Amino acid sequence: MLRRRGGSTFHRPAPVKRIHHWVPSVASLYSQTPLRQENSYFSIGERCNANGSKKWRELQEAGDWDGCVAVGREQAAEGSNALDLCTAFVGRNEIAEMNEVVTRFTSSVNAPLVIDSTETPVIEAALKLHGGKPIINSINFEDGEGHAEDRMILARKFGAAVIALTIDEVGMAKTAEDKLRIAERLVDFACTRHGLPQCDLMIDPLTFTIATGVEDDRKLGVWTLDGIRLIRERFPDIQIILGLSNISFGLNPAARAVLNSVFLDHAVKAGMTGAIVHVSKIRPLHLIAAEEVKVAEDLIFDRRSEDYDPLQKLLELFAGRKAADAVQKRRAETPAGRLKDRIVDGDRKGIEDDLAAAMEEMPALDIINTVLLDGMKVVGELFGAGKMQLPFVLQSAETMKTAVAWLEPYMERVEGQARGTMVLATVKGDVHDIGKNLVDIILTNNGYRVINLGIKVPLADMIAATKEHNAHAIGMSGLLVKSTVIMRENLEEMARQGIDVPVFLGGAP
């Protein structure tokens, strides 16, 4: 029963104002993934494919479903936002094997699936088993609109996103104008006639190898980039993706890694939002020798002269090079310089030697505060400028963590009674925890007790821990701009609840 207090109207605290942003996404059973990745591209792992990966085909042939799941997990761990799944293989039962794989992937791999088949019944079977919001790969108009129609009906019924290739009854679109023309027809067909939201349509304007040396193929790379630009201008809301590695088909693996990476960079700049790739084979451009980037660009943009053919030059540069040597490492002279390079390059193998050498020159905390943080600053700048993709930032973060863990025992420590207790957490929606964990180490070393609650922590958990541990202060960390909004909401809510424990905020700009 509601009672009036003191004769006046019943007072209820005003509800906390929250800002909700709807973001076009796909989803696994457990979590959603935005189709537009900030400062990056939506990466679709290409290795769970019986046509494209020998390893996958062998696992599928052997009925080694756990092995298949391991390939999927590995790709998700490498940073793939979704996984292309294709079980089409001569002499096998595609539907049955698709069922085996999708059943296991939906429960064991946290990445939305891209159901890849030329057979509509296979797609339908997979859609029935997929828990979240998958992607259908693909529709096109090669045989008219009949097949595409069937798939669009399935897409609408199951709420899936759709990849659409710029192929029509005449053939595959090669020129930029043809790519745009077929894209317009695809948008009209999928969105206007079948009601698919534009943000759920992923147009693939096709890319072909530029490594044949055939005159007709020389402009195919630049036409794809022009096509992306035209489609992006015409339809700002749709997604544009590419099967990236086609661009380098025919070259050796080391040359492919470089050409794919350089082409990806240009495609993203032109307006591409996603790519089907082997994420760990993509190199950040700052790690590729400048000459190799230039030759790859000359090949992409067909910059030839009488005595210079970038294709020949690329073949020369990579003759005899193994995939692992695709990137030539450079290392600074001093231990501090090498450590900074390691953070930027995300290279933690053997880092202990450089850390030990640096310790002879400065204390552990100085190494963190000057050398390692300097490296992270460069990572942030490269990332912000779109020159470094997220999976590499993750490698840098792991390298930073390895270094801090190695240095921790050497950091000054004040022994004795606890000076006080702090509950420390990265706020809701934010995963950045390196800085927060450093704060933990420094406070702990200085005689404070820290209750570290981890990342994405809701305020209720912080309050509960504060009460449970009789904490003297709360520390909230967050590096995203939106985390400052969460911090403000948290403070307002604490005030509303009358919680007056001092709060330290850190991290966000």
Binding-site ranges for ligand B12 (CB under 6 A):
37-40, 373, 376-377, 379-380, 383-384, 390, 393-394, 397, 429-436, 438-439, 475, 477, 479-481, 504, 506-507
What's the closest the beta carbon of residue 107 comes to ligand B12, in angstroms? 24
Cβ proximity to ligand B12: between 130 and 432 the closer is 432
What is the distance between the alpha carbons of residues 503 and 374, in angstroms, rounded to a whole number?
28
Closer to ligand B12 by Cβ: residue 227 or 435: 435
Q: Is 137 exposed, middle or buried (0-12, 13-18, 19+ CB in 10 A)?
A: buried
- Minimum CB separation of residue 433 from ligand B12 in Å reads 4
Quick one: 126 or 427, whose CB is closer to ligand B12? 427
Closest residue by Cα to residue 163 from 121, 212, 114? 114
Q: Exposed/middle/buried for 222, CB within 10 Å: 0-12, 13-18, 19+?
A: middle
The least CB distance from residue 225 to ligand B12, in Å, is: 23
- 106 vs 396, which CB is nearer to ligand B12? 396
The least distance separating ligand B12 from the CB of residue 484, rounded to whole angstroms, comes to 9
Dump strand ranges (E) for 314-432. 420-426
- What is the nearest approach in angstroms of ligand B12 to the Cβ of residue 202? 18
User: What distance, in Å, lies between the first and last C-alpha atoms of the chain?
Assistant: 47
CB closer to ligand B12, 205 vs 375: 375
The distance of closest approach from Cβ of residue 41 to ligand B12 in the complex, given in angstroms and rounded to an integer, is: 10
> Minimum CB separation from ligand B12 for residue 399, in Å?
10
CB 182 within 8 A of CB 155: no
Other C-beta atoms closer than 10 Å to the C-beta of 494 total 18
User: Taking the complex as a whole, how short is the minimal distance between the CB of residue 268 and ligand B12, in angstroms?
Assistant: 13
* CA torsion, ordered 84, 90, 92, 94, to nearest 10 deg: 40
Report the C-alpha gap between 282 and 19 in whole angstroms: 36
Closest to ligand B12 by CB, 42 vs 263, is 42
Residue placing its CB nearer to ligand B12 in the complex, 255 or 434: 434
> DSSP letter at 279?
G
Which stretches does DSSP call E strand in 48-139?
Answer: 82-85, 113-116, 135-139
Residues near 319 by beta carbon (within 8 Å), at least 6 away in sequence: none
What residues have CB less than 8 Å from 37, skipping those under 6 apart?
A: 43, 81, 273, 274, 390
Are the C-beta atoms of residues 21 and 34 closer than 8 Å to each other?
A: no
